[in-house]
Structure 1
């Protein structure tokens, strides 16, 4: 994870984790020392029965190789260094042997030009991609085993297990290991900028894993309430872990490059230099008042700087997510839940896409709950506002209920002509149209059955169009899409 830098408007959460093991590492290495695990918790139920158990011993073996590579190359795997090149070679050789389509992309605009490593499992529809990434570089000061060998090794072992199991795929899975994250997310920015609009549209979700084994760590998820985060959260919820939003990582890792391109993102993290609270220590174990990782960006970030329990649960959560989203048969049934992220608009704008100013806490129109709502139109001039969010509806559920609360306020006096209109679309299909003729005091709940879209990723879109005279305000709040 790169250091926090003052960037205006930074509001997206960090998601990072990828696997890495490095070529040219010594054949033998000292046994890995493991930091104390968090307080023991009940074993997970059979939530991920269809997903494989990822061996934390194998993940640790990759970390040992990464540490050895750094030791053989001046104690670092910094982008562009010999240690980084050896890391790319090791990961690449493992993936090629497993049957992946592997590409090295040289980041020519990076401070230290070197390769991003992209590996795609050649099954599943090429226009339906679920992507998993982590940065492979360390800082110059140390070997970077938690930051970010932990994410890199987690993804590498997941990729190898996917190839070994060779299941039927319903989505295409792509893994990435990034160059130059520590210099400002340079490798992932270069990759995203190299994609055409069509290629970006193929990527339905990006999951980032950055520091997933912090020795005094916690259980953090980027955009924890979003639809994209749902499978990651479901796995950790099965342990009763009560994961929290990764506020420390907002805008600081490679998920930010994808989020800026409009691609839904999430990911696991265990914390960096921030301090663990007493409440967090009570539910997760560890030491209150101490940093999640006291070796963050230091030479002591070695194999001794790893919490094996968090690493294990992160690796298995990745496997659960892959099987849930991309493997035929998945969990064998419906994963019930609420699919809309930031449903009351009180957590910023993500994952919504909206015309500037639509998501607002302006007092001109009250929210139904909280302080924020989506306020479309209300200008009294020719104007169009939009609000949208893409969601993936799981197959196999018995009910798919879209609900939102709508308040319509108008200055139009006619009782017969719809001058100003709000339409709701699912994809290219119009579900409903409202107008100034539907104005009423307070909010009214609107409900729709979306069962016909089961198993699909669709975009829900509200469009408000106002004519040149007399305002009509369409105010939306508390949007939910409940599947059961």
Structure 2
């Protein structure tokens, strides 16, 4: 996992993300008023039973990564021989299992970096479920928990797909990212170099960064509600309480996908934050001690893994891939758009609105009303952005987040199921600070 970075990365081209995946239980729908990453309602096909991923197999991959680090100066960092050897190891396993693999190269800090992409044949090419982990370590050590653990777990999940000759509804893709420790360089490169049409085909991205911490917690990303609920369903089934992941928000490879409007989720077992007494009571382990005291250190070796956490999280990954991969996408409903520019005055507190009149939609708005926003502004941290329903109800989309980044080009999902669909909806923007200016370029509602 990377060191702390700004919460919002550079703005990217907006994409209309269609055919997203469904919940595996009715409770997967967001609570009323919730605003989340994009999602869409889908019908659910019966999924094959997810496998129990053998933790011994995952640990065997970790042993190989440890051996690679030991033979190459003690690490598997970007630009070092240990990283390339790690990529070659994973690629050989996937090639032998029948995946179509692509080695993507990029340059960072004067060295060649590598991403490995593996596609499982079949499934809907217009609805891609992707799982990923960064494969690089820091220079200080072999990086077996950070992030050999996530890389080994998705490798073994991919091999389980091959053993089962799984034929999911969705197309399955796996990715191993380079130079994450330098600021998610590899995953940014992958996302930023995907054509808009290809980005729109990714129905969801699942990220796994540190899932075998020696003093573990069980954290679920609080992003897309369907992905989040799927992981929670798994952990309810095995009787393990979870918490929302906050320690690594924006610090791993899901961030570039999220910024591109792609629904994201994932699992995390903790880094250098301290486990509280309450967390130790429900999860075991030692309170007052870091979840991973060897975070970014030379002691992050094969001895720095909790087998139980690694086993549970590996099984949870397979559970998500099997269930989310079986969801049958439903095309999005009708869309309504306003492309007229509306200037945002540089007057603290002044609100401007852009209206959209919706007609011909029966009943209430959906629980997954899609709101695509394109706002041009030189300091988005000044802005509060709200969706205003026909009855005046306000749903906050952005509340002065994003700091000094330019522009808000993002998709949101609003649970508007209590609102009548037809009527005048408004995008409302307030500039709460002086000096920077901009305008609403366009926005769209999809029912």
Report the TM-score when normalising by structure 2.
Answer: 0.69
Aligned to 1:291: 290
Higher-Rg structure is 1
Structure 1 ranges of 4+ moved more than 4 A: 351-362, 365-368, 372-375, 386-391, 462-465
Q: What is the distance in 1 between the residues matched to 2:410 and 2:178?
A: 35
User: Residues 320-375 of structure 1, C-alpha deviation per residue, up to 9 Å, x if partnerless?
Assistant: 1111011489xxxxxxxxx968x9xxxxxxx965466665599xx9978xxx6469
Query: Residue 226 of structure 1 aligns with which residue?
Result: 225
Aligned match of 1:198 = 197
- 1:252-263 equivalences under 5 Å are 252-263=251-262
Counterparts of 2:307 and 2:294, CA distance in 1: 16
Aligned twin of 2:354: none
Quote the offset at 1:290 in angstroms.
0.6
TM-score (normalizing by structure 1): 0.64
Instruction: Kindly provide the CA deviation profile for residues 54-105 of structure 1, in whole angstroms up to 9, marking residues without a partner as x.
Output: 0001000000110010000010000111100110110000000000000000
Equivalent runs, 1:95-244 vs 2, <5 Å: 95-109=94-108, 112-223=111-222, 226-244=225-243
Q: Distance in 2 between matches of 1:225 and 1:125?
A: 21
Structure 1 SS opposite 2:286: coil
1:433 is matched with 422
* Distance across 2 between alignment mates of 1:374 and 1:403: 13
Q: Deviations over 1:368-404 (max 9, x none)?
A: 8xxx6469xxxxxxxxxx996469xxxxxxxxxx763
CA RMSD of aligned residues (A): 3.3
- Secondary structure at the residue paired with 2:296? coil
Corresponding position of 1:15: none
- After TM superposition, the structure 1 = structure 2 runs for residues 449-468 of structure 1, keeping only pairs within 5 Å, are none
Unaligned runs of 5+ residues in structure 2 are 10-45, 329-365, 376-382, 399-408, 429-446
Q: Which residue of 1 aligns with 2:54?
A: 55
Partner of 1:28: none
Q: Is the 8 A contact 2:367 2:416 kept in 1?
A: no
Q: How many residues align?
A: 339
Inter-partner Cα distance in structure 2 for 1:289 and 1:361: 43
Q: 1:240 to 1:196 in 2, by over 3 A?
A: same
CA contact (8 A) 2:259 2:410 kept: no
- Higher relative contact order, chain-length normalized (CA < 8 Å, sep 6+): 2
Following superposition, the deviation at residue 188 of structure 1 comes to 0.3
CA deviation after TM superposition for structure 1 residue 113, in Å: 1.7
1:245 aligned to 2:258? no
Distance 1:8 1:158, change over 3 A: closer
SS in 1 for 2:124: coil
Alignment of 1:36-75 (within 5 A): 50-75=49-74
